[in-house]
Amino acid sequence: MPKIAIIAALPREVHPLVKSWHSTAFEHEGRSFTFYESNYAVVVCGGIGGEAARRAAEAVIVKYSPQVLISAGIAGALVPELHVGETIFPALVIDSQDGSRHETAIKNAPVANTPLGRTAIVSAPQISSPGQKQQLAKSYGAQAVDMESAAVARAAMIHNLRFLAIKSISDEYDFEIPEMSQFVRDGQFQEKRFALYVALRPWLWLPVIRLARNTKLASENLCAWLRESALTHTIVVSSTGEGARASTSDQV
């Protein structure tokens, strides 16, 4: 059984990695999940947001009993030093809804001593605008924002599993992202509704094209890191070693 479980939001984020992997369906708590399997890892795309990530994490734990959970996907930059396509390995994950903080197991890996490993990511309940990004950076001292990492970290903590977050930047700190939260329903992005919305608003065409291009680059870089680093155990501590496990503390 794979020892590493990777939880992503949408299939397109991990498609370069899993496109040739075997897929299997699994029912858990009344929901259907598709798992992509290799000899060393399993990937599940649970949907957008914390609740969707939690459900996916619980499902993969039930079916595969992994030793490591990885929250992987795209993220937004909160600081000007991070650019599109850069991949970070946060040492700290913060939940903006309750202020809880979760340390990751990255401190046991060589990449922890690089700027990419000395980062923090904050999980927010919605897609963040530049103004919201500015406030998140000020409030939490984080370098990036996503919507799922904190939920996966909490699942790892509950089940006493090692936890990592690997995120690739799709939008920089000042990128005017189109309003997209209204098109997320039960963790799924309603692409047809969004396409119609954009088609009737020509001023959104260029930002949407840029975001799609940036997301594709971020996805490719993310999957390259997953393939060459996480899945070859160069950032994941040995399954037989003591390594750090997910932990949490109140915000200070």
- pLDDT of 228 higher than 90: no
Tell me the percentage of the chain whose pLDDT exceeds 70: 90
Q: For position 63, what pLDDT does the model report? A: 95
4-249 CATH choice from 2.40.50.100, 2.10.240.10, 1.10.10.10, 3.40.50.1580: 3.40.50.1580
Query: pLDDT tens for residues 133-188?
Result: 999 999 999 999 999 999 999 999 999 999 999 999 999 999 988 777 787 787 77
Report d(CA 113, CA 30) in Å as an integer: 43
Integer Cα distance of 148 and 60 in angstroms: 15
pLDDT level of residue 242 (50, 70, 90 thresholds):
very low
Confidence band for 1, pLDDT divided at 50, 70 and 90: low
Pairing of strands 68-77, 144-146: antiparallel
Pairing of strands 4-8, 68-77: parallel
pLDDT above 90 for 110 = no
Mean pLDDT of all residues in 207-224 = 94
pLDDT for 245 beyond 80: no
- pLDDT at residue 239 is higher than 50: no
Mean pLDDT confidence for 100-126:
88
With contact defined as beta carbons under 8 Å apart, do 74 and 215 qualify? yes
Give the residue extent of every domain in the chain. 4-249
**Distances, alpha carbon 100 to alpha carbons 83, 123, 173, 185, 202, in Å:** 27, 10, 23, 26, 41
Report which of residues 112 and 13 the model is more confident about. 13
Q: Is residue 249 predicted with pLDDT exceeding 80?
A: no
The answer on pLDDT for 13 being more than 50 is yes
The pLDDT, as a whole number, for residue 178 is 78
What average pLDDT does range 196-219 have in this prediction?
92
Average pLDDT, the chain: 88
pTM score: 0.88
